[in-house]
Amino acid sequence: MTIKFLFSFISIFTLAVSPLLGQTTRPFDPTNAREGEKVEYCHQHIKMAELMKNPEFAAMYEQDKIAFEKAKNKAVPKGVVYKIPIVFHVLHNNGIENISDEQIYNALEILNRDFRKLNADTATVQSDFVGMPSDVEVEFVLATKAPNGTCFKGITRTMSPLSYQGADGNAQVTAIINGNDVFQNNWPGNKYLNVFICGEIGGAAGYTTNPSTWSASSMTNGIWILHDYVGAIGTGSTGASRALTHEVGHWLNLDHTWGSNNNPGNTSSCSTDDNVDDTPNCIGVTACLLSANTCNSVNAYWNYDVRDNVENYMDYSYCSKMYTPGQTARMRAALQVSNTGRFNIWQSANLTATGATGDIFLCKAAFDADRTTICQNDSIQLNDDSYNEANGWTWEITPSTGWSFAPGSAATSQNPKIYFANAGLYTVKLTATDGTTTDDEVKNNYIRVLPDAASLPYWEGFEAYSSLANLTNWEVYNPNNNNAWTIENTTSHSGSQCAKLVNFGQTPSNIDELTSAPIDLSVIPSTGAVTLSFRYAYRKKIAADYEYLKVFVSADCGANWAQRKTLAGNNLSNLTSSTSWKPTQNSDWTTVHMINVTSNYFSENFKMKFRFEGEGGNNIYLDDINLYAGAPSDNLVLGIDGLSDFQDIQLYPNPTEGDVHIRYNAMKNEKLTVVITDITGKTVSTSQVTSKEGSNLIIVPTDVFSSGTYFVKLGNNSKALKFVVK
């Protein structure tokens, strides 16, 4: 993706909600407050009040205010455009708060539109303010160099549960300093405008502090904002998209239009001031009341009783569209005071150091795909995300067979479409260039093309694997990059293995998934029934633990999912273990039968997914997953090793056009019955054989079998084995 200079407009409301016990985070809606919900629109005054408790800060800030007033009288005339390097730090926990680059670019576009008065709605301001909307002549440019000179795209990302623990903004910044993906150290506030995008910030929609000597170079000299108040796309919305404009106004020394408090509608605000002459005295509104005239006094600037400037970015009207010339002068003055962190930030030396000069060059080759797991004979779209500029691309995919470029795409396309015919794991490499610099990115085993759909009845006992990594039969999703689903070979319900997730000792807010390959349910008539059965074993760590096991199903190879089962809290288990737990007996296991896999999921590319949502409790295990036609049955197909007197069973060739060979090791001499059934469960062959201790071979002729899928079972205590006759 090519990133050029982005104009933008945004208004950031510093909304604060004092956290209440049991309060649920939700997008702020001033027209729909819930009973008992405590909402403050702006947190800036709270942060400033906290700082003012420090006598040293208070003394410095009084001196700063004097300096700002002097600077306002000497402000640089209009015509000089200030450029400010900006960095967006996304603090996320792998949820919706991990917003896209595109949403951030949209937010930056909105912010610059507002500050350069490029928003078309300035033409529709109320009659008293026609001609007053002001071009602040400040532009915000994505920084492309980190403090250590590392080239980046102006966006950092940090995965941490602190995204939703916003009572302590300093802790959130510390998490970003220590864990972001670009540069793990301080990003000075006098070199970058740092914007911290979070899932929760103490009940606020956004907040910042006024410029001050005290915090001039601190990284906390930045702006906090909720992800759904960033831009107008993605999780954002048009109504909330100007919250950043509001917040940057505070960052550049503006108060609310009614003064330096957060009490809109309070009549006492008629006796306070925002230190800007051309914003009429008012008490503030929380809705778009264009006729509001809340103070009824003659304004010295206007010489008559003018209505409120409800459409000002520093009000709470949600129909804001302008700054006044007086506000512009005050913000530009803030950029002239040398010791408060706003002067150095726009200097040419700092623009060069932060890569905010507007020069465009290739920094890094990067790409992604619209999907990374697909079924055979499906396609994916590769997307060039190289930054900041590329004009040439070369794509390589290995292995070199089993795929092809779609019509209109080629190895040199920027965003090619690829068809995959063969199952397997594919590595993708992009080499990008700007004509001078060349860089590449390689993603190993990036595209997973699933095998042909399995047939019913389907079972999984996890006996055939030593690991779940890089399989085509199962896909492991572990976004936190910690303990993931794996194979456990020291305990199981049946056989000798099962799937295990070590949740004990993990941080809260973990999501881990285990997703199947496709299974063909298209053979089931629409009036038929399917049952999904499985066994799990789980313990809490403490009684208060509340964790989830969820089961999802898909009819389109995982493109869309529907949740069909939730086991949570005591329904998952009411037993506890204070140590890392594993099951030791079959009574530790719970059997689940699901009968709500409805006919709209009877497709040839059905998939199922097990998701565990952990909160630092204890371990969970899965075994004996069965999917079969008909009503629930407790006679599940089980793992081989634990129930059979046989080991190392092999069936070959498969598929076959002749005989089927079954080789196995018997633990003792015994007679057994070999039963073969078709896909409907009908017995098509029964025979008696005598096994001797040690290696045995059974040859099954199939010349009398029609082409299709069959299952063979050795005795009463073995797992049915599937084979296909061509």
Catalytic residues, by residue number, are: 247
User: Tokens 């995008």, residue?
Assistant: 197
Q: Identify the helix (H) or strand (E) that includes residue 613.
A: strand 607-614
Sheet bearing 694-700, strands edge to edge: 646-652, 660-666, 694-700
Q: Identify the helix (H) or strand (E) that includes residue 244.
A: helix 243-251
Three-state DSSP class for residue 641: helix
**In 611-622, which positions are buried (b, 16+ CB within 10 angstroms) versus exposed (e)?**
bbbbbbbbbbbb
- Reading the block at residue 311, the tokens are 């459409």
Say if residues 627 and 530 touch (Cβ distance below 8 Å).
Answer: yes
- Reading the block at residue 191, the tokens are 């070199």
Sheet bearing 474-477, strands edge to edge: 474-477, 510-516, 607-614, 548-554, 562-568
| Cα–Cα dist 545/612, whole Å | 13
Chain-centre distance of CA 641, in angstroms?
Answer: 40
Three-state DSSP class for residue 344: helix
Q: Identify the helix (H) or strand (E) that includes residue 179.
A: helix 169-179
**Is the sign of the CA dihedral 311, 314, 315, 318 positive or negative?**
positive
- Reading the block at residue 231, the tokens are 């831009």
User: Tokens 């082409």, residue?
Assistant: 707
| Cα–Cα dist 388/2, whole Å | 6
Beta strand spans in 29-113 (E)? 82-92
Residue 641 β-bridge partners: none
Cα radius of gyration rounded to whole Å, the chain: 32
Q: Write the burial class of residue 2 (CB in 10 Å: 0-12 exposed, 13-18 middle, 19+ buried).
A: middle
Per DSSP, helices labelled H in 488-576 are: none
Q: Write the burial class of residue 451 (CB in 10 Å: 0-12 exposed, 13-18 middle, 19+ buried).
A: middle
Chain-centre distance of CA 581, in angstroms?
Answer: 30
Query: What DSSP assignment string belongs to 672-719?
Result: EEEEEEETTS-EEEEEEEEE-SEEEEEEE--TTSPSEEEEEEESSSS-
- Reading the block at residue 170, the tokens are 């300093």
Ramachandran angles phi, psi of 636, nearest 5°: -75, 150
| Cα–Cα dist 644/637, whole Å | 12
Cβ neighbours of residue 309 under 8 Å, at least 6 residues apart?
A: 128, 129, 257, 279, 280, 282, 315, 322, 324
**Strand 498-501 with 486-488, pairing:** antiparallel
Chain-centre distance of CA 559, in angstroms?
Answer: 17
| Cα–Cα dist 119/346, whole Å | 24
- Reading the block at residue 439, the tokens are 């860089």
